[in-house]
Every structure is written in C-alpha cells, then in structure tokens.
Copies of this chain bind each other. A is one copy, B any other.
Amino acid sequence: MADLTPLFQPKAIAIVGASNKPDKVGHIIVKNVINHGFTGKIYPINPKEQEIAGLPCYNSLLQVPDKIDLAIITVPAKACLDVMEDCGKVGIKHAVVISAGFKEVGSEGLELEKKLLFTCKKYGIRMVGPNCVGVMDTNTPLNATFAAGFPLRGDIAFISQSGAMLISIMDWSKTIGLGFSRVISLGNKADLNEADFIEAIAEDPLTKVVLCYIEDVHNGRHFLDVVSRAAKKKPVIILKSGTSQAGAQAASSHTGALAGSDLAYETAFTQAGIVRARSMTELFDLATCFSYQPLPKGDRVAIVTNAGGPGIVASDIIENTGLSMARFDRETLEALRSYLPAQANIYNPVDVIGDAKADRYAFALEAVLKDPYVDSVVVMVCPTAMTDPKAIAEEVIRLHKKYPDKPVLTAFMGGATLAEGAKRLTEARIPVFTFPEPAISSLAGMVNYVRRSDNTPEGEPIQFDDVDKNAVKAIFYDVIRDRRNVLLGSEAAAVAEAYKISAAPIKLAISPDEAVALAEEIGYPVVLKVASPKIMHKTDVGGVKLDLRNEKEVREAFIEIMENVQRYLPNVIPYGIEVSQMMPRGTELIVGMTRDMQFGPLIAFGLGGIYVNLLKDVSFRLAKGITPGEIATMIAETKAATLLRGYRGDKPADMMSLIDMVARAAQLILDFDEISELDINPVFAYPDGYSALDVKITIEF
C-alpha cells in the first residue's frame, strides 16, 4: 500500500505556478493554503514574481533550499512535464496536478498524460490528477484546492471523480452542518485512483466513513481486492454514475471515462461489501447517518411519533426497505401503558398523540431504547400547538447520550416552528430529516452494511486439481483447425467432462443408420439434435426431436430434422445429427457467463429452459475468488432456489453437486480466457445430482 500521508499532512509544500493575479488558480490555491490554516512551510514557484501573498517566490523547484513533501502544480499542461522532472530531481515524492489539458481534451492530451505518468514512475512520484481540483485535509489543516471555501471538520472522507460535484458538495455541506476529514478530487486519475485512496483512508483514524463518487474503475480486480478489505474496516459508500446507456454516453464525453456495464459494478460492489447510493441525496443521507450514529445491531426499528398518519407512512417504508417493525417486550408495553394517555398507541409505532410535551416523548423514547428487541429508533415530531420541539430535541439528545449504542434518527416534520430543535439535533450529531423516508432508507443502508459484514460468505475459493486442461486445449485446437469458433455439442460436452461437469453423453451420427446404432448403444429414449456451428437456436429451426423411443422414431426424426434444416436454412450443411440420452426431467437451470473489461468473467446461475431470456431469473458473481458460500448465496437469490428446495411436494435438489458444478464452470472460464461464451442450458437438477443437457461454448482470441 502506498503511503499517502504526505499528500494530506505535508510539512512543506511547493505551489508551482503560483500567481499574484487574483483570478488565477495559482493565486487562489496559495490563498486557500494560507487562509485555511496550513502551519507548514509554503514555497510559491514562479520565475516572474518576487513575492506572492507575502511569501518569497522561487524561480524553480531546484532553487528551494528545503525538503518539499508535496508539489501542487498549476502550470499549463505543456509545462507540467518539466516541472515533474524537477520534482524528481529534488526528491519530491508526491504531486497534485491541477492543470487541465490532458486525456480529457483528446489524443494529444493523452500522449502528454502518458509522458507525465512515465516521469512520475521514473522517479517514484505518486500523482493526484491531472485535471483535478486538489486535495483537502481539515485536520492538518490543508486546503490545496482552488475551491471557494473549506468544509467543516468532520469524520467523512469524500473522493470525487467530478471536480464540479466536489465543489458543489463542499458549498452545500455547510447548509446541513456536515463535516469532512479529507476531500480528494481524482481528476483523470492517471496514477492514484479511488482504490488507492480508499485503501489509505481505511487506515486514517480520523475518518469514520468513506464516500466516493466515481464514473468508472480502471482495474476492477485490484479495486475489488482493495475495497473488500477497506469495507471491513469502515463503511465505503459509493455513488457510481454512468450506469445507464445514456449516462455512459455522457460519461464518455467527459473525463475520458469508459463506464463499464452496470451489472459488473453492481456485482462487484455487492461482493466487496460496498454500500451503493442510488442518488446524490442518498449518498449524503447515508454519509450523515453513518457518520453521526452507531451501527444498528439488527433490523428492528421502533417509531415514536405524536401523530398517527406519519407513523403509518413510516411503517410502510420500514417494510418496503426490508427492515422490520420492532415488537416490544412486555415490560416496555406495560411501562408505556402506565404512563401514556389512554388514546395513545403503545404498540409500534408508539403514538404519544398530539398534545405530547417533551416528558412524554422522553418516557416513550427511553422505554424503547431500553427494550432488548429494538435495534434503532426513529423519533417523529409534528408541530401541534402543544409541541415544544426544542425541549423534545434536548430530551432526544440526553437519551441518546444515555444509550449511545442504538442509533436514533429523527424526522422533524415542519418548517420554522421546528427549526431550532432541528438545529440542536444536528449539533448533537443526531440526523434530522423533514420527512421520515430518508431517515428510514438510510437506516436500511446501515442495516444492510451490518448484515453483509456479519454474513460474509465463508470458505476459501476452491481450486480443482482434478481437471484436464490438456483435454480442453486439444478440443479447442481441433476447433481452430476446422476454422470454427463455435464448438459442436459433442465437443462442448467433452470440455465439460474434462472439468468434471456431468454432461449427458452425446455422439455424432452422420446417417440414419448410425443414429440408430448410437441410440441402441446409449439406450432408449434418446434425443436427436442437428449438429452445426451455424445453428445456435436449434429448436427454432426444427432441429431437435425429443423422447424417441425406438428405431423407427429415430430414423424418421433424423430425416425430418434434415428436412427442417434444409427448409429453414437452405445454405447450411449440418455436420450430422447428435444423439444423446433423453434425461429424465429435473428442475431446469442455466449456468452461463459474461466477461467484463474491468472485472473479468462473471458466472451466472438461474432458471433455465427456453424462456430464460424472458424470465431473467439470473444471479451473477465475479468468477475470481468465488467461494462455495458465495455460490450458495448466489443460488439462494434466484427464484430457481424455491424450486431447488423442493416445490409443491418435489424432493429437494442436491445442492452440493450444483455448487460444485458452478465452481467448476467458474474455474473453466478463469482458466481459459479465450472462452467468450459458455452457456449450459438446460441443466437438469435432481435429488441426487444433475445433468448438463446442452453445453454451448464459443472461443475467441
């Protein structure tokens, strides 16, 4: 792991391109560093100036008579290369390149960026940017950016691929009193990227939550390794944009980012334990709750409200977000019954009714905080004539201090009447929202983070050593020699067998007589399928005949298939007809794959059969490092799982054999990068095993 401390806690910094002109970036940065309290040494560099903002100015880095930890570079793009060379010569190990004019402006800029990165590599310099806003650390304090203003101090780190969004958020954060520890603008991330910063900040004791806005990830596997480990230490919340086709198009005209397929990101984020925000609002709602409150131990939420309607709204959201309404202990119910007026509702949501003053809120809140069956509490306040919001806020603050281990969130539903109470809550780091929805969905985010941390699927990835790689290579070799890239069914079945995936035996017949002979050998009933690499959907052209019970049926089917193919696809001459055993019907499954540029191969599992594209009941995982536990979770996510557990009286399927099959398929696609398509559909699952009926493999170099 790179030590990025000097980026955030430098003792001496140089600002190359510092300026005396007030609207120049090189001026704003010097001002920001000075005005926001940096206590180390500051060396402005500009050959045309003697002094900048009261500091002596140097002609070049080479003339600074001191060891510099961090260079902030704002000179025009073309001058950056020389500056970086100077950095290397004087032993500077960390640089932030603010300057634009690199990858984002096209091929010429990209060349320049590559050269800049090469210079960094030559000297072992770690670079932020280019084309970025800079970095901030509120604890050092250091504001090495050209953003107007400096955020409040806090325990949230924010890493942003969009500089404008970073500036927007810094401006906006003050209106809700949100504080930050470190703020990083990634820019073009030629060298340091989100993974590096997430890894480094996971070790920062002054940061509790890591927030991230990204448009893409360059090295998916590295990202996954690093962030999986970081997410075990502290919550990592990411807003990934460019998820839609439209968004990806927009992204490609911006920062030069190539947004990957959302499926791969979604899968990777889930596997890494990342909390994924769906919108900017959600990103910061989550940040607030994770930062201010302890993690809930479970999903049971208690509501305390002074009005029924909002209580119902809150109950709806609790159920819709996958949380559960706490069911109170008998002691809690008795306490509430004895204290609250008769019209109050003592069951969850606790309705202390409209005339409740702070004492009644306090009693109810303490009762539910004490309850062992409550994991978190949402306090809701409507401004009736009797309500004293400030006193209620004070009681909430007092009781949260008394029971600091359970998260308390609030919805203060109103405007001016409640403003003072809301302000007090924010100061005391109790999240306050106007409406209950964001409070509860943030809580759901916290609960999901805890669930994932608690339930990281166990087990090590399996590495099978009983597979026959050479057999697979030999088959692929024959396929290439035949100038094909689609394997015949019999070939694909042989590949599966080499990896100990049980496929129904398939033999190729080139005449009705041969088909009958093979059928006698395999045993009736049999299936006949046309064999041709040019026919992907054999059923559609009448190329499949099932359940053939005797010689006559096989003979007729052979001829009929040939006639069908001739009619539908007059230009295709089949290799022959494949004869296989008619397997007893089991639960129809599919095992498949897709490859992602960033994250490598993904393995897919779901309901199989001819409607697989229609039903889309498929779950994905990154193939790399997949464990049996993760495969079990993956299977459990599908509707197929309901069938496999034994549906309407059926016997349950043999789950262990299915997990084994998926793990072997995962290893196959990891071992052979050249497999561009693998489609095992259907797989029939039985109580005592499974059978892969139809294996399709395509290879590509």
Interface residues of A (CB under 8 A from B): 23, 28, 104-105, 146, 148, 160-165, 167-169, 171-175, 213, 215, 239, 241-247, 249-251, 253-255, 259, 279-281, 306-313, 315-320, 324-325, 343, 345, 347-349, 351, 354, 382-385, 413-418, 434-438, 537, 539-541, 610-611, 614-615, 617, 639, 642-643, 647-649
Closest chain B CB from A578 CB (angstroms): 20
Q: Which residue of B lies closest to A244 (CB)?
A: B319
A-B pairs with lowest CB-CB distance, top 5: A162-B309, A164-B307, A254-B308, A244-B319, A171-B414
A254 lies within 8 A of B384 (CB): no
Closest chain B CB from A108 CB (angstroms): 13
Q: Within the oligomer, what is the number of copies of this chain?
A: 2
A246 lies within 8 A of B416 (CB): no
Q: Considering the chains assembled together, what is the distance between the CA atoms of A347 and B250 in angstroms? A: 9
Q: Which of A104, A171, A312 has the most CB of B within 10 A?
A: A312
A317 lies within 8 A of B279 (CB): yes
A437 lies within 8 A of B318 (CB): no
**B246, B309, B416, B418: which contacts A315 (Cβ < 8 A)?**
B246
Q: Considering the chains assembled together, what is the distance between the CA atoms of A349 and B248 in angstroms? A: 11
Q: Do A382 and B165 contact each other (CB < 8 Å), given the known contacts A413-B172, A415-B171, A537-B648?
A: yes
Q: Do A416 and B247 contact each other (CB < 8 Å), given the known contacts A281-B437, A309-B213?
A: no
Closest chain B CB from A4 CB (angstroms): 23
**24 A–B contacts, CB within 8 A, in A order:** A146-B385, A161-B309, A162-B310, A164-B307, A164-B308, A165-B309, A168-B307, A168-B383, A171-B415, A172-B414, A172-B415, A175-B415, A175-B416, A215-B312, A242-B316, A244-B319, A245-B319, A246-B324, A246-B325, A250-B348, A255-B309, A279-B437, A280-B435, A281-B435
Q: Considering the chains assembled together, what is the distance between the CA atoms of A168 and B435 in angstroms? A: 10
B316 lies within 8 A of A173 (CB): no
B309 lies within 8 A of A254 (CB): yes
Which chain B positions have C-beta within 8 A of A160? 309
Q: Which of A251, A316, A384, A643 has the most CB of B within 10 A?
A: A316
Q: Which residue of B lies closest to A284 (CB)?
A: B435
Q: Which of A280, A313, A611 has the most CB of B within 10 A?
A: A313
B168 lies within 8 A of A413 (CB): yes
Q: Considering the chains assembled together, what is the distance between the CA atoms of A610 and B588 in angstroms? A: 13
A313 lies within 8 A of B413 (CB): no
Q: Do A165 and B413 contact each other (CB < 8 Å), given the known contacts A313-B280, A320-B244?
A: yes
Q: Considering the chains assembled together, what is the distance between the CA atoms of A417 and B163 in angstroms? A: 16
Closest chain B CB from A70 CB (angstroms): 22
Q: Do A313 and B241 contact each other (CB < 8 Å), given the known contacts A162-B308, A643-B614?
A: yes
Q: Considering the chains assembled together, what is the distance between the CA atoms of A648 and B247 in angstroms? A: 31
Which chain B positions have C-beta within 8 A of A315? 242, 244, 246-247, 249-250
A308 lies within 8 A of B354 (CB): no
Q: Which residue of B lies closest to A386 (CB)?
A: B23
A148 lies within 8 A of B280 (CB): no
**B241, B324, B649: which contacts A316 (Cβ < 8 A)?**
B241
Which chain B positions have C-beta within 8 A of A347? 253
Which chain B positions have C-beta within 8 A of A215? 309, 312
A351 lies within 8 A of B172 (CB): no
Which chain B positions have C-beta within 8 A of A313? 165, 239, 241, 247, 279-280
Q: Considering the chains assembled together, what is the distance between the CA atoms of A250 and B148 in angstroms? A: 48
B540 lies within 8 A of A415 (CB): no
B382 lies within 8 A of A164 (CB): yes
Which chain B positions have C-beta within 8 A of A169? 413
Q: Do A540 and B310 contact each other (CB < 8 Å), given the known contacts A167-B382, A246-B319, A413-B165?
A: no
**B163, B168, B250: which contacts A312 (Cβ < 8 A)?**
B250
A385 lies within 8 A of B28 (CB): yes
Beyond the given A162-B309, A174-B416, please list 8 additional residue pairs across the A-B interface where CB-CB is below 8 A.
Answer: A250-B348, A280-B435, A281-B437, A537-B649, A540-B648, A610-B648, A614-B643, A615-B617
Which chain B positions have C-beta within 8 A of A175? 415-416
B416 lies within 8 A of A171 (CB): yes
Q: Considering the chains assembled together, what is the distance between the CA atoms of A241 and B243 in angstroms? A: 31
A415 lies within 8 A of B244 (CB): no
Which chain B positions have C-beta within 8 A of A325? 246, 249
Closest chain B CB from A150 CB (angstroms): 13
A649 lies within 8 A of B309 (CB): no
Which chain B positions have C-beta within 8 A of A614? 639, 642-643, 647
Which chain B positions have C-beta within 8 A of A104? 343
Q: Do A312 and B247 contact each other (CB < 8 Å), given the known contacts A384-B167, A647-B614, A648-B540?
A: yes
Q: Which residue of B lies closest to A321 (CB)?
A: B244
Q: Which residue of B lies closest to A259 (CB)?
A: B312
B246 lies within 8 A of A385 (CB): no
B417 lies within 8 A of A171 (CB): yes
**B165, B310, B348: which contacts A165 (Cβ < 8 A)?**
B310
Which chain B positions have C-beta within 8 A of A280? 313, 413, 435-437
A343 lies within 8 A of B279 (CB): no
Q: Which residue of B lies closest to A385 (CB)?
A: B148
Q: Considering the chains assembled together, what is the distance between the CA atoms of A437 and B438 in angstroms? A: 14
Q: Considering the chains assembled together, what is the distance between the CA atoms of A164 and B161 in angstroms? A: 43
A383 lies within 8 A of B171 (CB): yes
Q: Considering the chains assembled together, what is the distance between the CA atoms of A160 and B642 in angstroms? A: 42
Q: Do A242 and B312 contact each other (CB < 8 Å), given the known contacts A247-B319, A382-B165, A385-B148?
A: yes
Closest chain B CB from A258 CB (angstroms): 12
B311 lies within 8 A of A351 (CB): no
Q: Which residue of B lies closest to A417 (CB)?
A: B171
Q: Which of A173, A259, A383 has the most CB of B within 10 A?
A: A383
**B255, B281, B318: which contacts A308 (Cβ < 8 A)?**
B255
Q: Do A164 and B384 contact each other (CB < 8 Å), given the known contacts A171-B414, A313-B280, A437-B281?
A: yes
B436 lies within 8 A of A244 (CB): no
Which chain B positions have C-beta within 8 A of A436? 280
Which chain B positions have C-beta within 8 A of A541? 649
Which chain B positions have C-beta within 8 A of A307? 162-165, 168
Q: Considering the chains assembled together, what is the distance between the CA atoms of A651 and B349 in angstroms? A: 55
Q: Which of A171, A309, A648 has the most CB of B within 10 A?
A: A309
Q: Considering the chains assembled together, what is the distance between the CA atoms of A515 and B284 in angstroms? A: 71
B244 lies within 8 A of A174 (CB): no
Closest chain B CB from A426 CB (angstroms): 14
